[in-house]
Amino acid sequence: MIRWKNLLADSLNAVEVVTFDYPYISKRKPPPKAEKLVEFHSDFVKTIAAKYPHHPLILAGKSMGSRVSCMVAAENGIRASAVVCLGYPLKGPKGSIRDEPLLQLTVPTIFVQGTKDGLCSLESLEVVRKRMKALSRLHVVENGDHSMKIAKKNLELAGISQEEAEQSAVQAIAKFVSQTVGAS
């Protein structure tokens, strides 16, 4: 996330882009269910929002962090301007579809998903996006996995670098944020 933080800070001209680790990470424990992280995440977001009361609040997360960001953005008292989901984990245990946080959202949301993401097929995401109340966009990372990593052979075939693929995603995010936050 530090790399994405730096890429987003540069492209968004943000006042501040803040990252944090959930408490379980420092204890090297397996992650708890996403629902158990909402309070911690929400408290952190409220602290940052209070620090910058007149600036847009854009929640971004990778994998489970994007799912929790969606849960937090749907809460009362959180005035998120947009949500950025990097590798949203739509597929849950035993193949269940974890769409409830997305269906609760009312703020604009952009998904950055790889075509080879085993936790979120683009077809399943498209079905969910059609059911969402919130405006949503999708940026596809061709041959990207759940972390948007592209195998070397696919990079060579496409004639691009990993950095160029990531920069394309960041540009899509910046355009989305500019259009949605700038329109509010």
Q: What is the pLDDT of residues 22-32, one digit of tens each?
A: 888 877 778 88
DSSP annotation of 142: T
Distance CA 68, CA 98 (A): 11
Q: Hey, what's the torsion of the CAs at 156, 162, 168, 173, to 10 degrees?
A: 150
Distance CA 82, CA 97 (A): 22
Q: According to the model, what pLDDT value does residue 8 have?
A: 83
Reading across the β-sheet that carries 136-141, which strands appear in turn? 58-62, 82-86, 109-114, 136-141
> Global pTM?
0.92
| pLDDT at residue 184 tops 60 | no
Scan for tokens 């035993």, then name that residue. Answer: 94
179 φ, ψ (degrees, to nearest 5): -70, -40
Least Cα distance to 63 among 125, 13, 112 occurs for 112
Q: According to the model, what pLDDT value does residue 15 have?
A: 62
Confidence bin at 118 (pLDDT 50/70/90): very high
Q: Mean of the per-residue pLDDT values for the chain?
A: 91
Q: What is the pLDDT of residues 157-181, one digit of tens each?
A: 999 999 999 999 999 999 999 998 8
SS in 3 state form for 13-65?
A: CCCCCCCCCCHHHHCCCCCCCHHHHHHHHHHHHHHHHHHCCCCCCEEEEECHH
